[in-house]
Structure 1
Amino acid sequence: MNNSKLWTKDFIIFTFASFFLNFIFFLLLATITVYSMDVFNASESKAGLIAGIFSVGMVVSRIFIGKYMDWFGRKRLLYSGLILFLIASLMYLFVKSLTFLIIVRLIHGVGFGISTLIMTTVVLDTLPKERRGEGAAYFNSSATIATAIGPFLGIFLLQYTEHKSLFILLSIVAIVSVLISLFARIPKTEITKEQLEEMKGIRLKQFFEGKALPISIVAGLIAVAYSGVISFLTPYAIEIKLTTAASIFFIILAMSSFISRFFTGRLFDTKGENVVMYPAILLFSSGILILSQSHHGFVLLMAGSLIGIGFGTIFFCSQVIALKKSPPHRVGLAIATFLTFIQGAYGIGPFLLGYLISVVNYRGMYITLAILSLFCIFLYYSLHGKESTKRIQTSNEYSKNV
């Protein structure tokens, strides 16, 4: 993947492997609370803990692996993460208590965090620089498709089959993801003595890449707003009597996001990030505002399409910006920093928004999130967009002089 060719064997393998891992993640995200309440009579708070403990394992593993990724070796860590993920997937078949389920979820989160971080880092780090935005758009579309298919199939299986069928399916998918990953080539990374010395000791900058923080903050706030869509769409749809439209909301969202990747990624590479990011944030904010005012199924689905285009574009663009801003030997740490902010937002967002709903109801929450998203336009401009504009102007002036 070091030339201009994009769809190499390794790129295709990791795109499919990423889809399978995210498919399992979103399938369980939509079903594990119902499973724990039905089988173990868990309270809503305990069911929430069981769902959320996965993210704890994922975030913690990414913080530490981001620092030591190239020290231990990407290939070794990827296979370790995949094996851990596979073992945890199989362990669901033998769960007999809530305590054991919590342990399995934690291990599963660690395996997922390691595997997806290494895959993402290897893919983005080895994409042709002139096609990095386009490649990131296609690669991340695998996770976007998984957000639609995973929950849909998981809920379907819970309705018409036993819980065991659900866990047998995810075990088979986990095995497939491990097997196909064995055929991918993972380039070795060279570490200088200076870089090795930099890794020693315990300092904050060793766990977070400072140059990736600004764009990660923007993406994290957007992810908080997106978590409100994921977590509370169903009860909101019940309240406004649009459950039929809500049943295909995420499919429309995923399709819109996927289709937009065919031109937004290329636009990012040819025209720069600002040309893509400003409209994407505006579309995302508009989608949430429309969602807050939905009284008809068509309007709800239109909101889903705008949210899908906006969030999908913001996610892959921000990820590439974090990569571009960081030194080559801290690429893994930059991706880990970015994903930590995103996953942290997914974890803390629903918790905070639950309190907000009790004060301003669902429509009020979505109006608040639309305003928060709109504010991110100004935040993006201050933290990155202004600098990017100056850089492009300087480059254009240089080209004219030459």
Structure 2
Amino acid sequence: MQSHPIYVLRKTGLLDGISLLVLFCIAMPLKYIWGIDKAVSIIGSVHGVIFILYVLAILYAAMRVKWSLLWSVAALCAAFIPLGNFLLDGKLKNAQTKYHVKPFNHSLLVYSIVFFSFFDLFAQLPVMSTFATSMGASSFIAGFVIGLYSLSNTLGNILSGIMTDKVGPFRMLMVGLLLSSSALLLYHFVEEPNFLIIVRIIHGFVAGLIVPAAFTFSANSTLNNQQGQKVAFIGTFVGLAAIIGPAFSGIMASKTSVPSVFTYVSILGFALAILSAIFLSKYKPTKKEKDNDVISSSGSIFNAGVIKAFVGAFILMFSQGVIAYLLPLHVQTLGFDSKISGTLMSMFGIIAILVFVLPTNRIFDRVSPSITMAIGIAIMGLCQLLISQSTTILELYFVLGLYGVGFAFLFPSINTLLIKATPVDMRGKAYGYFYACFSLGVVAGSTVLGWLPFTIVHEFTITGIILLLCATFVVFNKQRDHDLIQ
């Protein structure tokens, strides 16, 4: 039983819990009471390494034990709560006798790679601007280096898509993981703004190689009538990264340093590269999976379904960019603490994850993706309008929770639409352009409205109207998804 994945998870979790208590109860008093700063730096670094090992243990258990994804979510949440690991250990000990080890799940490894890619992205959000200014960058340069990542990421997405179709998704996954993990280590050598700009361009570009290859690998190894549900599961890992990434980097950066945070993320990337080399290199789709995609390319990927998916991707991240830009300002104008913005975004992420994980995810294989796409855009547009009129915290929590439902409808829908409208031998290129639209949507949503001479309320209202018009357009121009499925 000592080799059981749950046993490994339990012991790693206890180590994580102990290191967290040492950090809070010993290292922090030594720093803030007795002025011994190195105590937090050393213990914080040790805790960071143990946390990465704990995350790997969670991923390993998820791949080898047939249990609910909620176990993995609970294990991750426990790492941020003092004594949480100890409380969870009793539950895991009982579970160890009930759940048996199953064959290796290749899909969960791909999910984990997607988690790493978005964890890398979201871990940058709370620390990059302050890191840039600490290097002597002006506020303009600080904002510039943040935007540079998304722009170079777009180029990486496109190149990854093209090369995925030529050399296969596995090779691009390996290249992306190794280069991205290596690029994260470059932050240790940054001492002035100009070199930081170069590192951001490199990091954004190589990080962009991962996601198109990962989604292509997943799509090519999934039966046609299960694509929507599987994409919803992938969305769960994106949501977890959105919740955990900022919290992890914010906490660890305050205890150690920003380059150290990126080192921990790098360790996770290298570990996933090793697992991929061991397990994914030998993976061959079954005959059913091979028969899943019998469509051959006719020369171009730009059919009506693909274009609609691209538009949906841009709209999704345009809306996200507006939320990221305007919500903190709106909360501030209402007189509330800026920390409320973070908890509001967590609310949206949690609700989205619940829709992804619960049986509600079956809707994405039973209802036309154009319909669920229109519903998702409409809900998000309505929420933009409601945010502009919300004046209390309770109202904002409700609206952001509803926004999470809209996000959870839209994300799997556009992915499913893309898969069903794309021939297998051109799917990598399609995903490359698809995630390029993601990156461009973020840039547009967070910058375009900033140039317009409107109030925050008016900008939320304009965004809401744009999204509702897009939803209406999707409904009235709904293509025959039945033909794509056939």
TM-score (norm 1): 0.85
In the alignment, is the contact (CA less than 8 A) between 1:24 and 1:173 conserved in 2? no
1:267 and 2:363 correspond:
yes
**Correspondent of 2:129 among 15, 30, 33:** 33
1:342 corresponding residue in structure 2: 438
Question: For each residue in 1:173-230, what CA deviation from the matched residue of structure 2 results, as whole angstroms up to 9, or x when unmatched?
Answer: 333332333334256799xxxx9996xxxxxx58x67751222113312321221102
2:325 equivalent to 1:234 = no
**1:369 aligned to 2:463?**
yes
Equivalent-residue separation in structure 2 for 1:44 and 1:227 (angstroms): 19
Determine the C-alpha separation between the residues in 2 that align with 1:248 and 1:282.
24
Question: Aligned to 2:421, which of 304, 316, 325?
Answer: 325
- What is aligned with 2:399? 303
Greater mean deviation of Cα atoms: 66-75 or 55-64: 66-75
Partner of 1:213: 307
Moved more, 158-167 or 212-221: 158-167
The question of whether the paired residues in 2 share the 8 Å contact of 1:326 and 1:334 is answered with yes
Give the Cα separation in 2 of the matches to 1:322 and 1:283.
21
Pick closer, same or farther for the CA change 1:157–1:347 going to 2, 3 Å.
same
Q: CA deviation at 1:296?
A: 0.8
Post-superposition offset of 1:67: 2.1
CA separation of 1:64 and 1:171: change in aligned 2, threshold 3 A: closer
Q: Are 1:58 and 1:112, in contact at CA under 8 Å, matched by a contact in 2?
A: yes
Q: CA shift at 1:97, angstroms?
A: 1.9
Partner of 2:271: 176
2:204 is matched by which residue type in structure 1?
G
Cα distance in 1 for residues equivalent to 2:151 and 2:279: 28
Query: In percent, how many aligned pairs have the same letter?
Result: 22
Alignment of 1:46-125 (within 5 A): 46-125=141-220
The alpha carbon displacement at 1:134 in A equals 0.3
Give the stretch that moved more between structures: 364-373 or 305-314. Answer: 305-314
Distance 1:60 1:305 in 2: 33
- For 1:387 and 1:235, the matched residues in 2 are separated by 42
Change (3 A) 1:154 1:241: farther
Deviation per CA, 1:129-176: give whole Å up to 9, x if none.
111100000012111111111112222334444334323322333333
- Greater Cα offset, 330-339 or 63-72: 63-72
Query: 2:85: which partner in 1?
Result: none
Distance 1:307 1:196 in 2: 37
CA shift in 2, pair 1:386/1:197, >3 Å: closer
Deviation at 1:246, TM superposition (A): 1.9
Q: Structure 1 residues 56, 274: CA separation in 2 closer, same or farther (over 3 Å shift)?
A: closer
Residues 291-327 of structure 1: per-residue CA shift (max 9 Å, x gap): 1112111111112111112123212210110111112
Whether contact under 8 Å (1:222, 1:376) holds in the other structure is no
Residue 12 of structure 1: CA displacement?
0.7
How many residues were matched structurally?
Answer: 373
Q: 1:196 to 1:306 in 2, by over 3 A?
A: closer
| Aligned with residue 349 of structure 2, among 247, 254, 259 | 254
CA 1:21–1:295 in 2, change beyond 3 Å: closer, same or farther? same
Q: Kindly provide the amino acid, as one letter, of the partner of residue 280 in structure 2.
A: R
Structure (1 or 2) with the greater helix fraction: 1
Q: Quick one: distance in 2 between partners of 1:196 and 1:305?
A: 41
Partners of 2:313 and 2:298 lie apart in 1 by 31
Give unpaired runs (5+ residues) of structure 1: 1-6, 199-204, 396-402
More displaced stretch, 265-274 vs 120-129: 265-274
| Residue identity matched to 1:123 | S
After superposition, the CA RMSD in angstroms is 2.7
User: Whole-Å Cα distance in 2 between the matches of residues 8 and 369 of structure 1?
Assistant: 44
